[in-house]
A and B are shown apart, each in its own frame.
Chain A
Amino acid sequence: MKPKDTPNFVATRNACKMCTPLGACLAFSGIEGCVPFLHGSQGCSTYIRRYLISHFREPMDIASSNFGEQAAIFGGQSNLTTGLNNVIESYQPRAIGIATTCLSETIGDDVSMFLNEFRREHADDSGAAPPVFIHASTPSYTGSHFDGYVEAVRAAVETLAEGGEREAGLVNVLPGIVSPADLRHLREIVEGFGLEPIVLPDYADRLDGPSWLEYRRVPEGGVPVADIRRMGRAAATLELGGPAKADAAAGAWLESRHGVTRRRMGLPIGVRATDAMFETLEAISDRPTPKPYADERGRLIDSYVDAHKYVFGRRAVVYGEEDLVAAMTGFLAEVGVTPVLCASGGRSGGLAGAIAAAAPRLADPPTVMEGVDFEELTEAAASADPDLIVGHSKGYKLARRLGAPLVRVGLPIHDRFGAARMMHLGYRGTQQLFDRIVNTLLKVKQDASEPAYTYL
């Protein structure tokens, strides 16, 4: 199974990825009291805010150092300083996550030095300690939003995690870009083993929160800074990921720096992938899988049986972030769907291998495309003759042109309601996903039935 060498257009046409700072802002939103801050032009933060607000339907304040021409020529230190002071005054944050942009990286701003100077001056003029600064280098010409996300998570850990005596029962959970509902579920699963999870990032409550009486400057929720400090003392790290940036991920750093055992695996979508996660948790906790999850697993397999004929042999096109695509392909193969084309805007070089590992028993391996855009994907998908498209909202036009239904997963979901509550992970998330896929296929069948059957 070799990645298809796409006859690349020079230009990217309808990108199947977003830029690095977006991923960093999302990750910073999962830290308690943390305000994401982009060091660059005003537009970067505004565009990213709108994009994420449209998906989560929650406040997403991202500050900007708002470069003007002066800053672009002479450097952005003074803008950064003013910006940090203003954010501290108005938001009273516990942390500020500073991500760079292509502009500040290209002019060569030394953000680490600027932050050190800021801390020094702050320490001089008042007793109050400034918030924690987490700095991620995320020029958008170096990768996709997923790279920015991984970079920011690692920056948080590198900045804060401390060593010390191991805390038995403490487990770091590094989840990847998943929904708030998925994050809640992951936390609950780990707790079910009697373990204490530190989920980084944990934007579950912040990006899927309640209605307010008083306006929150920084919405509640997120992993506390104090907990990120403890991550170096955890018993293990459960890292969910794919081929992208595996070596640069936070779990690798925690292991090499603080000796925290790293258990890296694909996203737990489907029975086999979720089994792998539960087996890992059994090993870490030395406890069996709690009965409610074993029961969920049983019901999930039972539903696979009930619906197997509806899905068997259906041809699927899957696209999105590489970890999601690999895991989704494994799940689809497990239920008898035939993944025919699997694509990502990311380009780790490892997607085909990850898919082969996640779906080892496919008779005909799918075409795998990395670094793809939606025009290339549309052309390839047309000849793949799919019955089903699995991916985010941006594939709607592709799906409509091919006359195949789109099952929405991942980010962004801009044309449906409830993205934050959509589940993908664990037996329970897989169950929801499976039900949606089956019902989508049933709807196609029903809509095509001349007598308008009400009994399928």
Chain B
Amino acid sequence: MPKPTSDIPILEDRKAQVHTKGAAPFKLACEKHSVAGAVSQRACVFCGSRVVLYPIADALHLIHGPVGCAAYTWDIRGAASSGPQLHRMSFSTDLREKDVIYGGENKCEAALVELIGRYQPKAAFVYATCIVGLIGDDLDAVCRRAGERTGVDVIPVHSEGFAGSKKDGYSAACRAIDALVGTSPEPKPGLGAPPSINILGDFNIAGETWVIRDYYERMGIDVIATITGDGRVDDIRRAHHAQLNVVQCSGSMKGLARLMKEKYDIPFTHVSYFGLEDMSRALYEVADHFNDPDMKARTAALVRDEIGAVMPELRKYRDALAGKRAAVYTGGAFKAFSLVRSLRTLGVKTVIAGSQTGSPQDYQKLEALCDEGAVLLDDTNPLELAKFIDQTGADLLIGGVKERPIAYKLGVAFCDHNHERKECLAGYAGMVNFAREVHHSVCSPVWRLTPRGCRTAAPDASPPVRPLRRAAVRRPAPRPALRTTPLTIGAKEVAV
């Protein structure tokens, strides 16, 4: 007989990263190197850099190292582009034993010259993986030489996997982007220029950046650069022309916003686009920043119209979901805040909340947001998640593909909120999609057949559930007729 799930131990080294609200004064250790052998759900420095830079669609992304790091990040994410598709290619120097012995510099440089000649990117990013530093390759020098030979900016990304955490990878990516910002020859617009922003930290998963951009444009704001969702090198070069950086996500783009504040005196604000509350707050905050009565009126009208359009349908989902319990485990903690609020909108209580990379401030906020008895987790792992899902009786887990089997094996619903998904969950229409995703999983009749479903309820005790009709979600046309760059998929160029 298998042991009870509740018997799963919490490792001694992990105990400080687990807290139950109300059980003791709040204290949660975080920002620690993952415990060896604990099966953390985190990845590495390289992953952090790759996640941030990947959506820049007209850049070449060359991964310097053995083939794995490139293979596992090939076209997995749903980061869409309205034009070039070069980011969806996976380029690797595919280092072999002799390269490890004699060094990989020449191979890397030759690969760059050849790839840049072949794919004509606007810029190239070269990612260092674990062994690059160890075998003594001078990546900066390689990039400089390749840049001189090709006339294209070649930017090193110092993302050796072991050299810190995913957050350090974010910083390395921000430094790489910073190398491009401000390099546009266009003069900076003077007084009287229309209000303008950069959208930072949205990665255009399933077209989310387009949804957000559309809102800002309807408010009368010029979006200079989207970094990095549907990103373009030339937009990034002139990103310093913007009057405000609007930063989503707790970790990934904060560094760039800070650098741009220091260098160009561009203020920034933190927002989230998930859920009705946070989405509306984001728009209002930006309108407040520009302090233009007309814009404020347009924003209020936009929020009113959008919420009005989705509420009838959301109410139906809420009726079906009210009283359910959810576990939330995200990469950054900012998303967890939005999810707790979004779930509340649907009548769902969050009983487990955690993140891979939260800071002490993040967790304080998360704790305040959650109800008594909620379990807070930093850098957790499959066994702990299983234990607490069992303990709290959660009906739903929100996470990524790696968390999915934990829920499914226990007969618990699941919603994918990570970057591999192909569903737009941001903005108002995205909230309806989110509600539908949650509803379609939680209210499925299949749970009644699982061992746990049978244990908790007589198989047919609950009333039948009528599936709600799929909402007609307005899908903004992929932006820009402006973008005439040819679509490059591999060898062929395809007209857009």
Q: Which residues of A contact B (CB under 8 A)?
A: 9-15, 17-22, 37, 40-51, 53-54, 57-69, 71-72, 79-80, 82-87, 89-91, 101-103, 106-107, 139-142, 144, 211-217, 220, 374-375, 378-379, 394, 397, 401
Chain B residues whose C-beta falls within 8 Å of the C-beta of A84 in the assembled complex: 37
CB <8 Å contact, A12 and B92: yes
CB <8 Å contact, B401 and A54: yes
Q: Roughly how many angstroms separate A142 CA and B451 CA in the complex, as a whole number?
A: 45
Q: Roughly how many angstroms separate A212 CA and B163 CA in the complex, as a whole number?
A: 38
CB <8 Å contact, A46 and B402: yes
Given A10-B107, A103-B134, A212:B35 Cβ within 8 A: no
Query: Residue B5 at the A interface, CB < 8 A?
Result: yes
What string of 1s and 0s marks CB contacts (under 8 Å) between B353-394 and chain A? 000000000000000000000000000001100110010000
Chain A nearest CB, measured from B325 CB (Å): 17
Chain B nearest CB, measured from A111 CB (Å): 14
What string of 1s and 0s marks CB contacts (under 8 Å) between B52-84 and chain A? 000000000010011111111110100000000
Report the nearest B residue to A85, measured CB to CB.
B37
Query: Residue B474 at the A interface, CB < 8 A?
Result: no
Q: Roughly how many angstroms separate A103 CA and B133 CA in the complex, as a whole number?
A: 10
Chain A residues whose C-beta falls within 8 Å of the C-beta of B47 in the assembled complex: 43, 46-47
Chain B residues whose C-beta falls within 8 Å of the C-beta of A21 in the assembled complex: 68
What string of 1s and 0s marks CB contacts (under 8 Å) between B113-149 and chain A? 0110010000000000111001100000000000000
**10 residue pairs bridging A and B, Cβ less than 8 Å apart:** A9-B111, A10-B110, A11-B115, A46-B47, A46-B402, A47-B72, A103-B134, A139-B97, A216-B409, A401-B489
Most buried by B among A11, A47, A90: A11
CB <8 Å contact, A65 and B37: yes
Chain A nearest CB, measured from B488 CB (Å): 12
Chain B nearest CB, measured from A207 CB (Å): 10
Chain B residues whose C-beta falls within 8 Å of the C-beta of A214 in the assembled complex: 2-5, 390
Chain B nearest CB, measured from A421 CB (Å): 16
Closest 6 CB pairs of A and B: A43-B44, A19-B68, A83-B37, A86-B37, A83-B36, A41-B161
Chain A nearest CB, measured from B62 CB (Å): 7
CB <8 Å contact, A46 and B44: yes
Query: Residue B473 at the A interface, CB < 8 A?
Result: no
Report the nearest B residue to A88, measured CB to CB.
B37
Q: Roughly how many angstroms separate A49 CA and B47 CA in the complex, as a whole number?
A: 14
CB <8 Å contact, B390 and A394: no
Chain A residues whose C-beta falls within 8 Å of the C-beta of B386 in the assembled complex: 215
Chain A nearest CB, measured from B104 CB (Å): 10
Chain B nearest CB, measured from A397 CB (Å): 7
CB <8 Å contact, A66 and B34: yes
Given A66-B33, A86-B11, A102-B65, A378:B491 Cβ within 8 A: yes
CB <8 Å contact, A12 and B91: yes
Chain A nearest CB, measured from B421 CB (Å): 12
Q: Roughly how many angstroms separate A49 CA and B472 CA in the complex, as a whole number?
A: 35
Q: Which residues of B contact A (CB under 8 A)?
A: 2-5, 8-9, 11, 13, 33-47, 62, 65-74, 76, 89-97, 99-100, 107, 110-111, 114-115, 118, 129-131, 134-135, 161-164, 382-383, 386-387, 390, 400-402, 404-406, 408-411, 420, 450-452, 455, 489-492
Q: Roughly how many angstroms separate A80 CA and B79 CA in the complex, as a whole number?
A: 36
Report the nearest A residue to B411, measured CB to CB.
A211
Q: Roughly how many angstroms separate A84 CA and B115 CA in the complex, as a whole number?
A: 42
Chain A nearest CB, measured from B352 CB (Å): 14
Chain B nearest CB, measured from A85 CB (Å): 7
Report the nearest A residue to B492, measured CB to CB.
A401
CB <8 Å contact, B162 and A11: no
Q: Roughly how many angstroms separate A87 CA and B14 CA in the complex, as a whole number?
A: 13
Report the nearest A residue to B403, measured CB to CB.
A53
CB <8 Å contact, B90 and A15: yes
Q: Roughly how many angstroms separate A221 CA and B141 CA in the complex, as a whole number?
A: 51
Further pairs besides A139-B100, A212-B451, A401-B490: 16, Cβ < 8 Å: A11-B114, A12-B67, A43-B45, A43-B69, A46-B40, A46-B41, A72-B162, A86-B36, A90-B37, A103-B131, A139-B66, A141-B66, A142-B96, A215-B386, A216-B2, A397-B490
CB <8 Å contact, A82 and B92: no
CB <8 Å contact, A86 and B13: yes
Report the nearest B residue to A65, measured CB to CB.
B36
Given A215-B410, A217-B8, A11:B111 Cβ within 8 A: yes
Given A11-B111, A53-B401, A213-B455, A18:B33 Cβ within 8 A: no
CB <8 Å contact, A64 and B134: no
Chain B residues whose C-beta falls within 8 Å of the C-beta of A54 in the assembled complex: 401, 420
Chain B nearest CB, measured from A315 CB (Å): 20
Report the nearest A residue to B390, measured CB to CB.
A215
CB <8 Å contact, B97 and A13: no
Chain A nearest CB, measured from B275 CB (Å): 26
Given A41-B44, A72-B134, A83-B36, A215:B383 Cβ within 8 A: yes
Q: Roughly how many angstroms separate A374 CA and B91 CA in the complex, as a whole number?
A: 11
Chain A nearest CB, measured from B184 CB (Å): 29
Most buried by A among B71, B134, B405: B71
Most buried by A among B4, B131, B164: B131
CB <8 Å contact, B95 and A141: yes
Chain A residues whose C-beta falls within 8 Å of the C-beta of B402 in the assembled complex: 46, 49-50, 53
Report the nearest A residue to B356, measured CB to CB.
A46
Chain B nearest CB, measured from A217 CB (Å): 6
Q: Roughly how many angstroms separate A47 CA and B95 CA in the complex, as a whole number?
A: 18
Choose one: B9, B97, B135, B410; the contact of A212 (CB below 8 Å): B410
Chain B residues whose C-beta falls within 8 Å of the C-beta of A211 in the assembled complex: 408-409, 411, 450-452
CB <8 Å contact, B70 and A12: yes
Most buried by A among B65, B97, B134, B162: B162
Given A53-B405, A82-B35, A44:B161 Cβ within 8 A: yes
CB <8 Å contact, A15 and B92: yes
Chain A residues whose C-beta falls within 8 Å of the C-beta of B411 in the assembled complex: 211-212
CB <8 Å contact, B130 and A40: yes
Q: Roughly how many angstroms separate A22 CA and B97 CA in the complex, as a whole number?
A: 18
Report the nearest A residue to B449, measured CB to CB.
A211
Given A10-B114, A86-B35, A86-B36, A397:B161 Cβ within 8 A: no
Report the nearest B residue to A394, measured CB to CB.
B74
CB <8 Å contact, A59 and B92: no
Chain A residues whose C-beta falls within 8 Å of the C-beta of B69 in the assembled complex: 43, 47
Given A46-B40, A86-B36, A397:B96 Cβ within 8 A: no
Chain A nearest CB, measured from B140 CB (Å): 19
CB <8 Å contact, B99 and A141: yes
Chain B residues whose C-beta falls within 8 Å of the C-beta of A48 in the assembled complex: 68, 72
Chain B residues whose C-beta falls within 8 Å of the C-beta of A60 in the assembled complex: 405
Report the nearest B residue to A59, measured CB to CB.
B405
Choose one: B71, B99, B134, B135; the contact of A19 (CB below 8 Å): B71
CB <8 Å contact, A59 and B406: yes
CB <8 Å contact, A90 and B161: no
Chain A residues whose C-beta falls within 8 Å of the C-beta of B35 in the assembled complex: 66, 82, 86
